[in-house]
Chains A and B, each alone.
Chain A
Amino acid sequence: MIAQEQKPIEEILGYLEGKQKVVVMGCGGCATFYHTGDKKAVRDMGERLRKEGKEVTEIVLPLGISACEIDMSSKFLEKKRKAVENADALLMMSCGDGAQVIADYIEKRIGATVAVVPANDALGLVGGGPKKFKETCQMCGQCELGKTVGICPLTACGKGLMNGPCGGVREDGKCEVDPEKDCAWVKIYERMEKLGELDKFTEMRDPHAWSRAKRPRLFEIEEPVKPVSAILGSLPSYLTLFTGPKYEEEE
């Protein structure tokens, strides 16, 4: 999931200065989990902007409909096509990806050019929850987990080292960069020790190949998923949610 936080309202208002008609659009994906683009966030933002004297149109995406998945999100955008065409600005309550996917659609498919403004700061690809999340992968394009017993050296290590630990590990095994975080390389050492694979630790790992992270990366898949049938097909699995054991978050 993409962790995110709403920007300070002053910053948002700064971007919207001189823009009278504003469309506020949310996201039913990650932004809903982070309360940065759910229905309430969109409504609250709408209200706040009306107080500033702006004419606001709100677009709420229901849970499961992510702004970045254009096939679905565009249907909600199209419903407010008139307002979008006439808008001075579109305030996107999603991550930067959602914001740009929507901006692109508006420009190419609706044929309008609207200033797209971010309401949120995207903070990384994270996992975990329901309350605590952790960034564990930065989608580097050439996964190294096979060399580091499943702990990402690029993301979990404060310096992204392929051959740690650095000289800065703290007394309690925490990271030089942040005393709140464990040193990834101490964790890698300990896991290798448990697995009896310490010989791997003393081997040099080659520098990471960054050539697979040439940006922006483009992809194409042969057979697109049909969202409606995917949802319907998944229903039986959802039912097992009510029969399985309950997950308890670690304190």
Chain B
Amino acid sequence: MSDEVYSQLMKELSEGKYVFTGELEPEKAGDVEEPIKAARELVGLVTACNVTDNPQSFAYVSSLAAAYKIQLETGMECIYQLRCADRNRSALLSDILGAGVLGLKNILALTGDHVALGDTPDAKPVYDLDSTTLIALIRRVVDEGKDLAGNEIHNPPKLHVGAAAAPGAAVLKAEIAKVKRKIKVGAEFIQTQVVYKTEVLDRFFKELGKVDVPILVGIFPAKTYAQADFFDKYVAGVDVPPDYLQHMKETKAIKDKEKRKEEVDRVNIEFFTEFLEHLKDTPAAGCHIMAVGYPRIIPALKKVME
């Protein structure tokens, strides 16, 4: 792997700067107005934004097209998410090359939730590659100018590749071994699944030991009680602390909309100040803030880390 840096994200990470990233979700629509609007609100608050690729296997605007448009129109650097669920290795290669052509610089390589769990459950699941072999493919394209079959690629793209990790994985030792495998094949940064509990994070870092790629810890300040409750109930490996959940629940009783917003912000700032203070004592290189459509909370979070 070369030490060359192609993106702002990798530049800041390699300089040891504490990095914040955000998240943008293309929708089931014929345009990307919403994520562009959201990106504009995040400019200046985060270094780069992930653009999700059919999260939970709901089919939306292609993350490649969306990331290109967002980057072009808002200047926000994008981390293009790419899943193995819907594309075979040829289609993945085409999209990787396409990403280079469109000026994208970062890819987050994901396996992807099973298509049967999404909104088009009769679709044929692909999984020709998995997150590990997708990372290997991207590295091979960028570093060697070759695809998996060994075919030469003329003028290969300059891209960085990241991987996901699940600190709250039920079988942590298997997850740790897999994260190490992804680092071994060339992942250059890690973004974790959402974590709410500091003990979950501590156990993850302890088990992982020292690794030489930057890790951005996923956090999700919930804008509503329903969001927090969803994570707790339906997202594998994410446990929301009962106290936080309770405080969020109590905000539902506030009739006045403005007052409720204030109280939600207060609950989040209180909870995440403590969480981020704790984060300072971990090897985390930054924070991936997944709260979509909740940019007003970010300045307060960044202040904690200053």
Residues of chain A lying within 8 A (CB to CB) of residue B148? 207
- Expressed in whole angstroms, the Cα–Cα distance for A148 and B88 within the complex equals 22
Mark contacts of A150-194 with chain B using CB atoms, 8 A cut-off: 1 yes-contact digit, 0 otherwise: 000000001111111111111111001100000101100100000
Most A CB contacts (10 A, CB to CB) among B116, B127, B129, B169 go to B127
- Please determine whether B117 and A167 come into contact, CB atoms closer than 8 angstroms: no
Instruction: Kindly state whether residue A105 has any CB partner on chain B within 8 Å.
Output: no
A204 touches B181 (CB 8 A): yes
Residues of A within 8 A of B125 (CB): 159-160
Is A234 at the interface (CB under 8 A from chain B)?
no
Q: List A contacts of B175 (CB < 8 A).
A: 165, 167, 169
Q: Which residue of B lies closest to A175 (CB)?
A: B114
**Chain A residue contacts of B171, Cβ below 8 A:** 165, 169, 173, 183, 186, 189
CB within 8 Å of A: which B214-261 residues: 236-237
| Docked-complex contact A202 and B111, CB < 8 angstroms | no
Chain B positions 115 through 157: 1 when the CB is less than 8 Å from some CB of chain A, otherwise 0: 0110000000101111111001000000000001000000000
* Chain B residues near A169 (CB-CB < 8 A): 169-171, 174-175, 236-237
CA gap between A55 and B252 in the complex, in Å: 69
Evaluate contact between A168 and B128: CB separation under 8 angstroms. Answer: no
Q: B113 to chain A: which residues have CB within 8 Å?
A: 168, 176
Q: B residues within 8 A CB of A161?
A: 111, 127, 130
Question: Do A171 and B181 contact each other (CB < 8 Å), given the known contacts A176-B236, A207-B128?
Answer: no
The docked-state distance in angstroms from the alpha carbon of A160 to that of B130 is 9
Question: Are B170 and A173 in contact, CB atoms less than 8 angstroms apart?
Answer: yes
Q: On chain A, which size bracket covers the interface?
A: 20 to 34
Question: Which residues does chain B contribute within 8 Å of A167, judged by CB atoms?
Answer: 111, 164, 166, 169, 175, 193, 236-237
Interface of A is mostly: loop
Name which of A198, A202, A206, A207 has the most chain B CB atoms within 10 A of its CB.
Answer: A207
Contact assessment for A163 and B177 in the assembled complex, using a CB-CB cutoff below 8 Å: no
- Complex contacts, A173 vs chain B, CB 8 Å: 170-171
Q: Which of A160, A162, A170, A189 contacts B133 (CB 8 A)?
A: A162
CA distance A189 to B175 in the complex (A): 10
A210 to B90, CA, bound (A): 13
Say whether, besides A165-B178, A167-B164, A202-B180, A158 and B114 are in contact (CB < 8 Å). yes
Interchain CB contact under 8 A, A177 and B181 = no
In the complex the two chains form, what is the Cα distance from A77 to B177 in whole Å?
57
Whether B114 contacts A189 by the Cβ 8 Å rule is: no
Q: Are B177 and A202 in contact (CB under 8 A)?
A: yes
Once the chains are docked, how many angstroms separate the CA of A171 from the CA of B186? 29
**Can you name 15 A-B residue pairings with CB atoms under 8 Å?**
A158-B114, A159-B130, A161-B127, A163-B131, A163-B132, A163-B181, A166-B130, A167-B237, A169-B171, A173-B171, A177-B114, A186-B171, A189-B174, A204-B181, A208-B128
What 17 new A-B contacts, CB under 8 Å, besides A162-B130, A204-B185?
A161-B127, A162-B133, A163-B131, A164-B178, A166-B131, A168-B113, A169-B169, A169-B174, A176-B117, A189-B173, A189-B174, A189-B177, A202-B181, A204-B132, A204-B133, A204-B136, A207-B148
